[in-house]
Amino acid sequence: MTRSAGLVSLLLLAAPACGPKKKIEECKAFVTAVNDGVDRVHKAMGATPEAGQSVAELRALATEMVAIGKQAEGVPLSTPELQKLSQRYLELTKDIAVAARELADAVDAVDVEKSTKLQARMDDVVKKEDPLIEELNRFCLTP
């Protein structure tokens, strides 16, 4: 099994000096909730080059992705565009959690063929995160 590159990307948000105050506050709150979870993922996954390869690490990733989703879901959002982006991110956290659990199960069962297929699926799901984060940052940084 190969390492899943970039399991989670940090949202780096520098609030613009101008723009609707509510949008800025909501973006900051959402990004903070996600970043707090990302920090937990990094701790759970470890900082070693082999991180993301063990069954325990994959299960920890799944648990933390669910927690990120719940924490982010708890952020009150009234901006329709941010609500949509938030919903897409929440769905992504669920998809990553499911993919990580299924991959962990296949690895645990020593099913090489299934593990290979699920690793590819995991990689595909994780690849969706960066473009979504870029879209979220673009929205939040635009006044």
pLDDT in tens, 30-79: 999 988 888 888 776 765 444 446 888 899 889 999 999 999 999 999 98
Mean pLDDT (whole number) for 101-109 = 93
Q: What is the pTM of this model?
A: 0.80
Give 63's contacts (C-beta < 8 A, 6+ positions apart).
44, 97
Extents of the domains making up the chain: 21-141
- The C-alpha atoms of residue 122 and residue 1 are separated, in whole angstroms, by 11
Percentage of residues in the chain with pLDDT exceeding 70? 80
Instruction: Phi first, then psi: give them for residue 101, nearest 5 degrees.
Output: -65, -45
Domain 21-141, what architecture? Answer: Up-down Bundle (1.20)
